A and B are shown apart, each in its own frame.
Chain A
């Protein structure tokens, strides 16, 4: 059966349910959120209808600027660390046998699907004084007594790298699997060591993939909301934490919505960048 354009109204019928659901429960909530970002806060209820820019003006404060700067810095560091670890790992994984690949993919998917609550809980346990990794160091004679390793910035960073690393591997995996193996062979035949061939041939060939992955992991890390709370101190809170805090605990939905709109615009800008990088890659090929 050939693909054909829909002719009668009945041909459109299958589209009805998904289209209505997506419009009603995604497009409308999204638009509601944008509308609410211009509303006035109502301490008694959720909000009152209005059209003001106050919620956006609050961005101009030093506090907000600090949180924004910290969120971006944290997400950038997480993205860079993840790609540095994941790239060589995924490249080696792509050369392993199919069996080994599948076992690793199952492990990585299982960790990727783990709730942020569970990741946060697991790392607070690992970093705790009574059950943490320092007990093992004490036992090995490396430390004199066990101590707590969280809350601090290093703990937040470790937790977020743990959360984003499986994602990074899965983003890199398809591109690396498709990489032409003869590239490497050619480099080796010409007398280059495996390490040199990796850095001089594989990394440059994958440059645009690496940039696109950095951006995707950056956006992913921007979304982390529980780990900064569970593993850090209030000064380590990110924009996502602040949005939740304003919406739920301060009942200031308009301000939360304004921050969310801002976060959307920022994420979209970065996703747009990814697409641009992808388009240039298509142009090169």
Chain B
């Protein structure tokens, strides 16, 4: 068999496997009645409208987006000075912080989640919304850390040297040369952390599960009481959101290069 034919077959099989469950979910999400049937009976976008119209689901959506934005912002704020320091200074021992930043991402998430649960319970802040934001920021700092390290590594040092020769001090060089060069990496690091935080369940559940509902928590809780098509429409909504964000990163950045670095940093 020719290689092209083989590729076509394997690509089709993998695509079918990956798309299968999502197609069924997309199908049930447009059912006209509140029933779990596929192929769908009738066609209605009502369940998409309900994500925003239903108070409970809208609140969960707002919680999730706020949490994701806050934690991604904190993660970037931590990763930026850290990766800048590691790039600017010769301080091998400081790499311990890079390791600390990558560690929570490699370990099974339930461990980090339990660590946060015991910690917040011990300091008496268990259940406060901001604890989830900090927990997510620590858990997802790996992503901006890796993209920013790659961004700094790709800066041509002679550019910076030229700026220094012209009399620029650290602060000026950072603002006028370095930041514009690493901006795409900063944005993709934020976007990665944002999307993953949006979908994260176990840490959010163990920190604020009993006081605040994020969308994944809401879906899981709702599943226990039975089925509503809003779960399906929310799922499709999340898949599309992730695809759009990653599509934008691919459009404006070098996705193959970014991913080459991501798993390198994950090791």
Contact = CB atoms under 8 A, between A and B. Distances in A.
B250 interface: yes
Interface of B: 1-3, 6-7, 10-11, 14, 17-18, 20-22, 24-25, 27-28, 35-39, 74, 77-79, 81-82, 84-85, 87-91, 94, 97, 100-101, 103-104, 106-111, 113-119, 121-122, 134-135, 137-138, 141, 157, 160-161, 163-164, 173, 195-196, 198-202, 205-206, 209, 215-217, 219-220, 223, 231-232, 235, 238-239, 242-243, 246-247, 250, 255-256, 259-264, 266-267
A191 to B, nearest CB: 16
A1 B246 contact: no
B89 A5 contact: yes
A153 B87 CA distance: 48
A132 B116 CA distance: 38
Contact of A22 (B97, B115, B206): B97
A107 B14 CA distance: 11
A24 to B, nearest CB: 9
B21 A170 contact: no
A132 B38 contact: yes
Given A92-B10, A107-B18, A257-B114, A1 B250 contact: no
B176 to A, nearest CB: 13
Interface of A: 1-6, 11, 14-19, 21-23, 25-30, 32-33, 36, 46, 85, 88-89, 92, 95-96, 98, 101-102, 105-111, 113-119, 121-123, 125-126, 128, 130-133, 135, 162, 165-166, 170-171, 173-174, 177, 194-195, 212, 216, 219, 222-223, 225-226, 230, 240, 243-244, 247-248, 253, 256-257, 260, 263-264, 267-268, 271, 274-275, 278
B263 A173 contact: yes
A118 B89 contact: no
A170 B266 CA distance: 11
Given A15-B97, A240-B108, A92 B114 contact: no
Contacts of B261: 174
Contact of A113 (B110, B195, B255): B195
A163 B188 CA distance: 23
A22 B100 contact: yes
B138 A131 contact: no
Nearest to A246: B114
Interface of B is mostly: helix
Contacts of A166: 18
Given A21-B78, A117-B201, A263-B108, 10 more contacts: A3-B90, A33-B118, A111-B18, A116-B201, A122-B21, A131-B27, A132-B24, A194-B6, A223-B107, A247-B206
